Structures are given as C-alpha cells and as structure tokens.
Amino acid sequence: EVQLVESGGGLVQPGGSLRLSCVGSGFDFDNFAMTWVRQAPGKGLEWVSGISATAVSTYYADSVKGRFIISRDNSKNTLYLEMNSLRAEDTAVYYCAKMDTVAVVVTSTVDSWGQGTLVTVSS
C-alpha cells in the first residue's frame, strides 16, 4: 500500500521560509514522479510543483515560481518543498502526491495522496 507522510508545516511570518518533507513507502519511490498540491482553507485544489523520478526535470505554478524549490532524495524516499518569501496567500494544506509515471508528462496522473500538512502564513 502506498503511504505518503508529510511534515514540516506550521506558522510562519510573511517573508519567512519553511521546508516541507514527504516520506514515501509501499512503492519504488525512485521510479515515480512526485508533486505538491495545495488547498487553501475552504477552497479548491491548486497544483504547485512537480519533479521527475530522477529529479532532472522540475515544474512550478506561476504563483510560486522563483519562491519555491522542489527536490527529492531517493536514497531517503523523501520529497521536499522549500518555500521562501512566504505570503498570506500561501496559507494552505500542502499535499504530497505520487504520479503514475517516471517523468512529469502529459499522460501523468496523480494517483496517491498524503494526508497533508498545514502551512499558515501570518504575523
């Protein structure tokens, strides 16, 4: 069974930084692309970033480009999201999710999700 466990969320001031982690188990972590999706309180889902299985390719939504960095350590089965210059509008539950392909491509589907970690940006 695929398991994805996020950590690292919390309260941070505007302009601050935070690093989220996600440990995957129950599947060959280094054979699948991964992604981060967020959900603001009471709002819908927003795709944030994606990374290929080998970390060669990364992708970002315009809303976070230049501020967030996605990375992975396949030796630790761990996905990361480094978030800098945080804004109030970044407040959301951040979900780590597995894709069903090696690369982030048109045929990719997000097929498994973690339970999420809450990030609150407020002074």
Partner 1 sequence: QSALTQPPSASGSPGQSVTISCTGTNSDVGGYNYVSWYQQHPGKAPKLIIYEVTKRPSGVPDRFSGSKSGNTASLTVSGLQAEDEADYYCSSYARSNIFYVFGTGTKVTVL
Tell me the CA end-to-end span of the chain in Å, nearest whole number.
Answer: 40
- Answer yes or no whether residue 27 interacts with partner 1 by CB under 8 A: no
- Answer yes or no whether residue 108 interacts with partner 1 by CB under 8 A: yes
Which residue among 5, 69, 102, 110 contacts partner 1 (CB under 8 A)?
Answer: 110
- Answer yes or no whether residue 102 interacts with partner 1 by CB under 8 A: no
Site string for partner 1, 78-97 (x = CB under 8 A): -----------------x--
Q: Which two tokens stand for residue 58?
A: 């990364």
In the chain, the DSSP E strands lie at: 3-7, 10-12, 18-25, 34-39, 45-51, 58-60, 68-73, 78-83, 92-99, 110-113, 117-121
> Smallest distance from the beta carbon of 94 to partner 1, in angstroms?
11
Binding-site size for partner 1 (CB under 8 A) equals 24
Q: Between residues 104 and 121, which has the closer beta carbon with respect to partner 1? A: 104
Strands 10-12, 68-73: pairing kind: unpaired
Cβ-contact 12, 28 below 8 angstroms: no
What residue type is assigned to position 68 of the chain? F
What residue type is assigned to position 82 of the chain? E
Site string for partner 1, 30-59 (x = CB under 8 A): -----x-x------xxxx--x--------x
* Interacting residues with partner 1 (CB under 8 A): 35, 37, 44-47, 50, 59, 61-62, 95, 100, 104, 106-116
